Amino acid sequence: MSTKRNLHDGWTLSGGREGQIEVDGLPAAVPGSVHTDLLAAGLITDPYVDQAETETAWIGRTDWTYRLAFEAGAEPFDGSDLVFDGLDTAARISLNGACLGETANMHRRYRFDVHDLIREGRNELEVHFTAPYTYAQAQRDRLGDLPNAYPEPGNFIRKAACNFGWDWGPNLAGAGLWRSVRLERWNIARIDAVVPRVTVEDGRGIVDLEVRLHKAVATDVELVCALAGTERSVRVTAGEDRAQVRLELDDPQLWWPIGHGDQPLYGLAVALLAHGQELDSWTKRIGFRTVELDTEPDGEGRPYTLKINGKPVWVKGVNWIPDEALFSRIDAPRLHRRLAQAVDANVNYVRVWGGGIYESEDFYDRCDELGLLVGQDFLFACAAYPEEEPFWSEVAAEARDNLERLTPHPSLVTWTGNNENIWGWHDWDWRDGFSDRTWGSGYYYDLLPKLVETVDGTRPYWPGSPYSGERDLHPNDPAHASMHIWDVWNDLDYTHYRDQRPRFVAEFGYQAPPTWATVRRMVTDEPLEAESPNMLWHQKAMDGQAKLQRGLEAHLPPVRDFDDWLYFTQVNQARALRLGIEYFRSLQPHCMGAIMWQLNDCWPVTSWAAVDGEERKKPLWYALKDVFADRLVTFQPDDEGKGEGVKLVAVNDSDEPWNDVVGFWKCSAEGRILGRALLKLEIGARDSATVELQEGSVPTGGEFLITGTESFPRATWFSKEDKDMDWAKAHWTAEARPVDGGVAVTVTAETVLRDLCLFPDRLDPDAAVDRALVTLIPGEQATFTVTSEALAADPAKWEALCAKPVLRAVND
């Protein structure tokens, strides 16, 4: 029988730097990191506040040593292994003074045979980390520099690229035992790996299992494989260490993405036996489904259409970065909260971006349960990567390890070779001066596709994001497969999303600062201003403030104070993504997906996220919930934006026909109704319809269109920008009343109220609200439900819920 014992308690940390901090025997948390240990001891200030990040830069340039003394019993075992699920990154591991080995990859698991070294009683384990900067710079000096989007050596070490800072993240490169450590002891044999390849053929569920064993004794053993009440036993003879086993299930219930069906999961178990006794076991849940990626050229280029169980899925996606800059603090409850926020925003797809990490089992398990599709990048981002040793072997081992680990998960549907590296090779002047050097293409076009096919074989692989399907095509051609749209944020107004006719948009986004409570957590500036020093420090994007200002000047009234700036930039972010996604959805089936950048943040920062680093929803999140709804109505310019007319596009992303009547009004800037129209919709399942509006229905000179309060999100169309509209100053009446767990605020419009939002976190940092970005015409009402026990218990604050700066409209 095997035993598996976590070695998480009793570690100490030693190391440091003269003139900074030096420790010897400091209590250390495992899983954890040097940063979290020093922070817990009060030796460094919170790197998320003000510019304290800079005060910790020395940590990643310093060696550190973790030590643990643990007891081992006298029980007889045939094998003993030390297993590390995550070593960050360049480490030398020793047990009882003997070196077990050296590692240089945070993205893979390591196992060391310690049977001849472990002793009864006290054992001493040491993990010495070389500073990541020391290791990476030495490799760079040895091989020669390669282009990187950031002036850091992160492409010369197999460590999360964003550890070295990004345009939304801090530089907190450090070291640590960031995932579990355990001692595994066993007799006769153990299970080394189980790789289930799950498919559906002719209505039958098929699981082809590859089981690898590690034997200490040359003897026959038995594998018992169980699925859905059926078992199959296989004998593995003394001279063998692996077996291939096929399990079949008649007419299994299919696993579907959310919005397309249910997510049935089946328990799969493998037991290893000898002489009638169980030696080891392995269990996972699997789901039966097929995955295809249709990229066959058509008359308009090359599509990028994801099909699950043969059915095309319109991808309503979000990009995902590590949910904490200090990765060991990402636990299952935090992941569950974030993924629930994705589902609540009508998201059906999460792209795990290539500059971060391969996520934990908790992440993929929860996506399996929720029906969230996952696209996983291999971990290369925005840089040229060397293919020379030791990197080629490290990448091969890392890819194989994670392919095997993640194969059981039905939510994982695609593998992608890299983020923007092929694009970088084409457009970012990478080829100058090193045309004969390796840069990563061998990984993307050779190593990784072969490993995906041989290790997995059930999921499609795509060389890069973006990538157009052929090496001689520009990788970001909108007519061919996946593309990224970043010229809008960097150079253009967000209305220019309509300039393209993409087949699939894998990245696009627009910035805004985080919520008020998060701003107050991240900066202590007084007075608080958009350009105050610490606000600027928490803006990592190049010229980010200027780009935000450009957007404000194009659309919104002049900013009077910080409250205006915060609210207006958040509104602009939400409008930008709503406009883009509505347009992309209006193009279906020509365009079959949009993955916005980005769902989450890893710390408090001005960024492209919909949910900020303190887990609070920005107005953008509410816009996503509307624009990713199954049934959507949107006004779009006719003739692809080249004419003066307007069309209405209705999109039905459900399995039921949509037979309905859409009513809309043409209104004056004062909110007076100038005309009404009714349109009958008869739209099939997963289809759309377009109606050209009659000339008299098209607004001009400050008029606008607005749909009624239907069962789908309200659509609007304005003939002028808010800064040019002759809005009446916003007036409303508001009433607050207690409800279970919070307060309901009902607002009655006396004028047009444009993008009305309520920000209860200004009164209670833990408060949340159920809606935002509500546009009303005179006489209409909207109720905002605030979840907050503190506010429910404090009626003195209810008046503040009904007035600025908590309750805001663009024209207030």
The pLDDT tens digits of the residues spanning 658-708 come to: 999 999 999 999 999 999 999 999 999 999 999 989 888 999 999 999 999
Which string of b and e fits 509-528 if b means at least 16 CB within 10 Å? Answer: bbbbbbbbbbbbbbbebeeb
Q: How far apart are CA 244 and CA 233, in angstroms?
A: 11
Q: Are both 188-286 and 732-808 of the same fold?
A: yes
Q: How far apart are CA 89 and CA 135, in angstroms?
A: 9
Q: What is the pLDDT of residue 641?
A: 47
Length of the chain: 812
Handedness of CA 36, 39, 43, 45 (dihedral sign): positive
Handedness of CA 623, 509, 804, 770 (dihedral sign): positive
How distant, in Å, are the alpha carbons of 604, 611, 612, 757, 764 from that of 570? 15, 12, 12, 10, 19
Residues ≥6 apart with Cβ < 8 Å to 229: none
The tokens 């990229």 sit on which residue?
295
Written as six digits, the tokens of 807 are 């309750």
Q: What is the pLDDT of residue 640?
A: 55
- Domain borders along the chain are 3-183, 188-286, 301-627, 631-724, 732-808
The total of other beta-carbon atoms located within 10 Å of residue 49's CB is 16
Q: How far apart are CA 481 and CA 499, in angstroms?
A: 17
* CA-closest candidate to residue 530, choices 572, 563, 490, 552: 563
Q: Which CATH number fits domain 732-808: 2.40.50, 2.60.40, 2.30.30, 3.30.70?
A: 2.60.40
- DSSP state, 443? I
* CA-closest candidate to residue 755, choices 551, 582, 573, 526: 573
On the 0-12 / 13-18 / 19+ scale of CB atoms within 10 A, 542 is exposed
Beta strand 349-352 with 373-377: parallel, antiparallel or unpaired?
Answer: parallel
Name residues of the chain where pLDDT drops below 70. Answer: 640-643
- Which stretch of DSSP H or E encloses residue 776? strand 774-776
Q: Which CATH superfamily is domain 3-183 in?
A: Galactose-binding domain-like (2.60.120.260)
With respect to CATH, is domain 631-724 assigned 2.60.40.10?
A: yes
Handedness of CA 730, 556, 626, 519 (dihedral sign): negative
Fold of 188-286: Immunoglobulin-like (2.60.40)
Beta bridge partners of 67: 12, 126
* CA 651 remoteness from chain centre: 26
The residue type of 107 is H
With respect to CATH, is domain 301-627 assigned 3.20.20.80?
A: yes
